[in-house]
Amino acid sequence: MTTALTATGLTQLYPGGGGIRDVNLTVADQSVTAVIGPNGAGKTVLFSILVGLVTPQSGTVNFASSNPRVAYCPDVPQFEPWLTAFEVVQTSMAVAQRNAMRCSLPNTSDPVGCALQTCGLDRVMHRRIAGFSRGMLQRLGIAAGLVTDPDVLVLDEPNSALDPIGRADVREVIMEQKRHRCILLSSHLLSEVEKLADHIIVINHGRMVASGTTPSILAKGMKPVWTLRLASPTAIDARRFAATLPDVSLRCTSDTMCTLGFSSFEAAHTQLVPALAELHAPILEVSLRDQDLDVSFARILGEEER
Amino acid sequence: MNFILNSLQVEIRRLTRSGLLAGLLITFAFFGLSGPALALYMPKILATSTKTDQVTMTAADPTPVDGIALFNQSAMQLGLILAVTVAITSLGWDTRPGSSSFYRTRTSHLIGITLPRLGVDWVIVAASHAFALGLAAWQTQAFIGPLSVTYLFRTGIASITYMVMAMNVGYLIMAITRRTATAIAVSTILMLVLPLANNSPATARWSPTALLGAAAGTTDLIGPYLSAGMVFIACLALASWVTARHGLRREA
């Protein structure tokens, strides 16, 4: 894993409350790192420091590149309303003093057109942005960032105002762009984060409370409980089951929905299949319970509060 | 595209598409036409509106200088406030977190954005005033009497110098406060109060506000020009320094 940026001991506190304290993080290149946390946790403050908008009270930010190109798309992108989308992206490129962009689209040599087409705004590129919806402004913010061909692309809530199709489009853009650069994003849509992120950082009350790969964050504090959906009601004898597999707890909430709980994942490794066989019922679905980021996130914050 | 050229283009687009350019031209043109007209009809207006049994007010027949002076009076009050507002709003991008971060994350040389934009505003305001002065001169010559080119040139240069200096003062206030309404309010009060400096003999010789007297025939303006130039440069330098040192407005 190549490191794109490292932050050490970042602290920025505000008199009215909020901010971050002693945050350390390492962000990998050519990957997506998601920063998640409740409202007011300090995600935007962290991003503001990383992109140079705010000087921290203490701590340092170091980029792998000696002359890093960083692009930032805030959660509420705002542009001068009398400009068209094309002019906004053109201005972005001119101010950043770039003249080229890696374009993966065929038959597109103009970087401004490429950035707009990548973000699905090619049909409205000559429309003034005063009439843009918030979702369109978010896409424009991403396009304005991409056109500068950054080493690090920071996206604050990039899909919060998008419809499901828009979210899918942005997801596709991010998955494509992570091959070329480091992407750091925040989002309250944890289902999206689960699909996009290679690494996750959890922030609460201005402090980092967890970090790791997405699978490790998902597994954090997870209990070895499986949910079963049966095709037909099981005629299982609970006493016989308990006698056969005393370390496995079986609970059925209905005729066809049951849960199997184990003492550990290691125990489940050897006992799950025998437990399923003991049910003597056709099985439609076996899934690990609470294996989604929303539950892991709540679990992590709950443990941190305790 | 070149960074500075882009800034010039963006500002021209702002002035044309937001209606500010049309507003400037129309407003100054109105002053240019109404000033000499007011001078021409002042005796009749006063005679009709102020005649009572006790009091009668009369005005002398208008002279060409009266026509230009009345134009310049309006231009350097309401027109001046409009010009200063144009300069103030050129920094409007820094009042909103989204647009502020758009520019601040892309360059550390913000002067490449701010100075070209302000330069466009100076040129547009100067051109609007010159256009209106031309209208006033044409109307005055047609209906009141001839004017010397030297007088017109002196009046125009003095007024434009003062106007551009005032724009920089408003610009500095905006750079410090990053609040449009506050900057306009403070600038308006300053522009209304500053001409009082002409009443003091100690300051009258050097105060930039003496430039406002050019239309009335004041000719000793070397001191005021120098002090206006110093204020112009000082405000510009300080505004550029303040803008560069600002971070993102958290409370916006």
Chain A CB contacts of B93 under 8 Å are: 80
Distance from CA of A158 to the nearest CA of B (A): 13
The partner residue sitting opposite A48, judged by closest CB among B10, B106, B248, is B248
Q: What is the pLDDT of residue B184?
A: 96
Q: What is the pLDDT of residues A172-184, one digit of tens each?
A: 889 999 999 999 9
Q: What is the pLDDT of residue A6?
A: 94
Interface A-B: count of C-beta contacts within 8 A: 74
Q: What is the pLDDT of residue B198?
A: 72
Checking if the pLDDT of B166 tops 90, the result is yes
Of all residues in chain A, the one with the smallest CA distance to B251 is A16
Q: Residue A144 and residue B102: Cβ atoms within 8 Å?
A: yes
Q: What is the pLDDT of residues B40-61, one digit of tens each?
A: 888 787 777 766 667 777 777 8
Q: Residue A76 and residue B2: Cβ atoms within 8 Å?
A: no
Q: What is the pLDDT of residue B53?
A: 67
Mean pLDDT within A107-123: 86
Of all residues in chain B, the one with the smallest CA distance to A78 is B98
Q: Residue B6 and residue A71: Cβ atoms within 8 Å?
A: no
Mean pLDDT within A18-24: 92
The closest alpha carbon to B167, from B76, B79, B84, belongs to: B84
The partner residue sitting opposite A95, judged by closest CB among B14, B92, B113, is B113
The closest alpha carbon to B115, from B239, B20, B245, belongs to: B239
Q: What is the pLDDT of residue A61?
A: 94
Chain B CB contacts of A51 under 8 Å are: 101, 105
Q: What is the pLDDT of residue A23?
A: 94
Q: What is the pLDDT of residue B2?
A: 85
Q: What is the pLDDT of residue A266?
A: 84
d(CA A254, CA A230): 10
- Chain B residues 34-93 within an 8 A CB cutoff of chain A: 92-93
d(CA B120, CA B12): 7
Chain B CB contacts of A71 under 8 Å are: 105-106
d(CA A100, CA A147): 8
The model's confidence at residue A305, banded by pLDDT at 50, 70 and 90, is confident
Question: What letter represents residue B192's amino acid?
Answer: L
The model's confidence at residue B234, banded by pLDDT at 50, 70 and 90, is very high
d(CA B62, CA B71): 13
Distance from CA of B62 to the nearest CA of A (A): 45
Mean pLDDT within A226-237: 83
Q: What CA dihedral angle connects A192, A193, A198 and A203, to 10 degrees?
A: 180
Checking if the pLDDT of B187 tops 80, the result is yes
Listed by start position, the domains of chain B span 2-245
Q: Residue B113 and residue A87: Cβ atoms within 8 Å?
A: no
Chain B CB contacts of A77 under 8 Å are: 98, 102
d(CA B174, CA B88): 6
Mean residue pLDDT across chain A: 88
Q: Residue B248 and residue A54: Cβ atoms within 8 Å?
A: yes
The closest alpha carbon to A230, from A289, A288, A281, belongs to: A281
The model's confidence at residue A169, banded by pLDDT at 50, 70 and 90, is confident
Mean residue pLDDT across chain B: 90
Question: Of A29 and B202, which is predicted with more confidence?
Answer: A29
Distance from CA of A14 to the nearest CA of B (A): 10
The partner residue sitting opposite B106, judged by closest CB among A77, A128, A148, is A148
Q: Residue B6 and residue A91: Cβ atoms within 8 Å?
A: yes
Question: What's the N-to-C CA distance of chain A in angstroms?
Answer: 34
The model's confidence at residue B1, banded by pLDDT at 50, 70 and 90, is low
The closest alpha carbon to B3, from A148, A74, A149, A124, belongs to: A148
A167-172 long-range contacts, CB within 8 A, separation 24+: A167/A192, A169/A119, A169/A120, A169/A139, A170/A119, A170/A138, A170/A139, A170/A142, A171/A195, A171/A196
Of all residues in chain A, the one with the smallest CA distance to B244 is A53
Helix, strand or coil, per DSSP, at residue B251:
coil
Q: Residue A78 and residue B98: Cβ atoms within 8 Å?
A: yes
Give every CB contact of residue A7 below 8 A, 6+ residues apart in sequence.
A23, A24, A25, A26, A49, A50, A59, A60, A61, A62
Q: What is the pLDDT of residue B51?
A: 62
Q: What is the pLDDT of residue A245?
A: 87
Q: Residue A72 and residue B93: Cβ atoms within 8 Å?
A: no
Mean pLDDT within B126-136: 97
Mean pLDDT within B108-129: 95
C-alpha separations of A303 from A22, A204, A227 in Å: 20, 12, 24
Q: What is the pLDDT of residue B14?
A: 97
Q: Mutate which of B101, B107, B117, B248 to disrupt the A interface (most A C-beta within 10 Å)?
A: B101
Chain B CB contacts of A128 under 8 Å are: 17
Q: What is the pLDDT of residue B252?
A: 44
Tell me the percentage of chain B whose pLDDT exceeds 70: 94
Q: Mutate which of A49, A53, A84, A89 to disrupt the B interface (most B C-beta within 10 Å)?
A: A53
Q: What is the pLDDT of residues B66-98, one digit of tens each?
A: 899 999 999 999 999 999 999 999 999 999 989
Cβ–Cβ under 8 Å, residues A13 and A57? yes
Checking if the pLDDT of B250 tops 80, the result is no
Mean pLDDT within A48-74: 91
Sheet holding A283-288, edge to edge: A249-252, A257-261, A225-230, A283-288
The closest alpha carbon to B94, from B207, B244, B214, B228, belongs to: B244
Q: What angle do CA B100, B101, B106 make, to 5 degrees?
A: 110
Of all residues in chain A, the one with the smallest CA distance to B248 is A53
